[in-house]
Amino acid sequence: MPKTLLIVDDSALVRKSVVKVVQPSKVFGRVLQAKNGMEALEILLKEDIDLLISDINMPRMDGYKLLTTLRNLEKYKDLPVILLSSQNEPHQKIKGLQGGANDYVTKPFEPGELVARIKNLLMMKELQDELARKNKAMEQANKKLEELSVTDELTGIWNRRYLWERLEEEISKARRFNQTVSCLMIDIDNFKVINDTYGHITGDTVLIEIARILKTQCRNHDLLARFGGEEFVMVLQQTNLENAAQLAHRLVKATERHPFSTENHRPLKVTISIGVAAYPAQDITDVNGLIKKADEALYQAKRKGKNRVIFKTDPTE
């Protein structure tokens, strides 16, 4: 894509001399001009500029002020800038370079040197842009890998690793702010029979649909994860045992009503059992205790006939 140069100088003669120097190099497809910093800003806000050559001493807005304003604009924070001035004092150069200029050329300038400096800055900018693109692509790839590492591949919900990390955080927060965290341990009834009778494709479909049913009942700030095999865990923030049990009953009913089918489109009855426990309780003081008690409640639900909810009450109540 053709590049655009903006020349800013209150002297028409200087602007003309810069144009005369850069045109034969064919580095720029367009060359725009401004008489001062204010005119330059108007152009910069309307156009896409690839390189700026600016005088320092100009009316209305000088080169230093233009440079400071430019570096505060996200669009132009990395724009290559050459300050072009008749001032050759070291402190002037230092001020310009510390203010964000990439280069400083004194007038009268040597044409070949100015073109060489322009090409060098543009090449450096292209390398910086390419590096930024690669870094962004790498960041996105790393983010995707991190998401994959904590996501269950089949169902798309969180996996066991993420569950443990988040559950530790939730218990810590609940302990700090004297809040309640409830845990639902969910298991698909007779899942091995489903797999053995109808095949793993049907089994996988059941897992995916169960995850979908559970997710629709989940609040945005709650946590749903596949614990392993046919087991799922739902962690409910600031939810007491009674409310958690009510949600568990709704999940059991929603699953029972759902029209599951086999790979051959034959109707399939699927139910779930749920064990519920809440932190804090006399025998639930940490993550392991919460999971253990929810699992014990689930085991009781299985023993009592499945397709039901059992919740673990606090022994002090």
Catalytic residues: 230
Q: Which residue matches tokens 């089949």?
A: 154
CA–CA dist 119, 109 (Å, integer): 16
The neighbour count for residue 220, using CB atoms within 10 Å, is 4
CA–CA dist 296, 220 (Å, integer): 27
CA 111 to chain centre: 47
Q: Rounded to the nearest 10 degrees, how much is the dihedral formed by the CA atoms of 224, 213, 191, 309?
A: 80
Give the closest residue to 302 by CA, choosing from 207, 185, 215: 185
CA–CA dist 238, 267 (Å, integer): 38
Give the closest residue to 213 by CA, choosing from 239, 250, 241, 242: 250
